[in-house]
Amino acid sequence: MSAFATQHAAAGRRVVLITSGGTKVPLESRTVRFLDNFSSGRRGACSAEYFIDSGYAVVFLHRHRSLYPYSRMFSTINVMDALQLTSGDEASGSADEVLVNPQVLPNIAKVLKKYHEVKDGGLLLPIEFSTLSEYLHLLKAAAQALSTIGPKAMFYLAAAVSDFYIPASEMPEHKIQSSNGPLQLSLNMVPKILSPLVKDWAPQAFVISFKLETDAAILLDKARGALKNYRHQAVVANVLDSRRGYVVVVTPKTQDELILTEEDVKNEVEIEEMIVSNLTSAHNRFINQQAS
Ligand code: PMT
């Protein structure tokens, strides 16, 4: 991650660390069961593409098997239905051929080309986590690695991180037995990682957290509360049910509502394009302020 950051910064590129997907909280050391959450990783995967289009290099810290940039567009497709087999002929020595059905994978050639350009250009560094503790360790390492490039680093914390966990010392080793009757769990609070990130690990970086609520009435107060507590640059506030079409970007001085219109939806515009455009402009201003 350090080499990735310094190499891109030296080439004049900004670097964004995107966190994406949910976190798994194990209930047993030899884990059979765990607590999870709803996050698909679409916000993070989709945003990664728009950041790359805007000239950024991306460290993509994502939950194992959550949505991934570019392939996310085909995530609901069964690969077996997307391929066609033409049997070869043993007698003439021709081999079986596998072809892609473009009706099942629309735009595949365009997306594949873009994916390989990004991969060959070394613009995307994927890093995987599954559990909460892996996430926390990797985020700290990433923050320290990106801190070397100062304000050119952006943190875009879109992962849905668990607020609760069972410490290793309190976790049973083996599978919890249902024969012991109903299960009562006592969970500890996960420390808010935003605090050391902003204060200690990457104090010069441009940091954006997300705020998710199910009750729209408390969303903006919570977002403003987070800005006040952690003193970072912006919060992207969203409500679970409307998150694909409506978010508010809150900064200490501004509040921008981003909304997809019916026309946008018809034209397959994605709200992440608006979020990334809003935040890259804010990042420009932030860098210019630091320089002056
Ligand atoms: O993945 P999708 O299905 O596309 O959904 C996208 C999303 C709804 C997950 C995304 O837009 C979003 O809102 N992500 C943040 C969800 C969340 O965890 O919100 P929160 O209000 O619980 O946490 C607020 C912030 O604190 C987050 O930026 C989180 O990274 C941070 N946090 C959380 C826990 C913790 N221990 N330390 C933290 O710093």
Task: Identify how many contiguous H helices and E strands the chain contains and give both numbers.
Answer: 9, 14
Arithmetic mean of pLDDT over the chain: 96
Q: Name the residue among 142, 156, 139 with its Cα closest to residue 18.
A: 156
89 alpha carbon – ligand 1 mean position (Å): 55
Instruction: Give me the CATH number covering residue 109.
Output: 3.40.50.10300
The DSSP secondary-structure symbol of 169 reads G
- Structure tokens of 15? 């670097």
- Structural domain range at position 25: 2-291
- Predicted confidence band of residue 88 (pLDDT cuts 50, 70, 90): confident
Q: Would the CB of 31 count as within 6 Å of ligand 1?
A: no
| Residue 184 alpha carbon to ligand 1 centre in Å | 26
For the CA of 197, the closest atom of ligand 1 is 39
For ligand 1, atom 24, the nearest C-alpha belongs to 211
Binned at pLDDT 50, 70 and 90, residue 216 comes out as: very high
**Separation CA 22–CA 63 (nearest Å):** 6
| pLDDT above 90 as % of the chain | 95
**Domains contained in the chain, number:** 1
- Cβ 210 vs Cβ 255: under 8 Å: no
**pLDDT for 31:** 96
Model confidence pLDDT, tens digit, residues 96-112:
999 999 899 989 999 99
Average pLDDT over residues 155-163: 97
pLDDT grade for 93, boundaries at 50, 70 and 90: confident
Report the DSSP beta bridge partners of residue 61: 19, 127
Catalogue the long-range contacts made by 269-277 (C-beta closer than 8 Å, 24 or more residues apart). Answer: 270/46, 270/50, 271/244, 271/245, 271/246, 271/247, 272/43, 272/46, 272/47, 272/49, 272/50, 273/50, 275/47, 275/50, 275/236, 275/247, 275/249, 276/47, 276/50, 276/51, 276/54, 277/50, 277/54
129 CB under 6 A from ligand 1? Answer: no
pLDDT digits (tens, 9 = 90+) for 161-213: 999 999 999 999 999 999 999 999 999 999 999 999 999 999 999 999 999 99
Q: Which atom of ligand 1 is nearest to the CA of 213?
A: 21
CA distance 93 to 95: 6
Candidate from 35, 39, 224 with most ligand 1 atoms within 8 A of CB, to mutate: 39
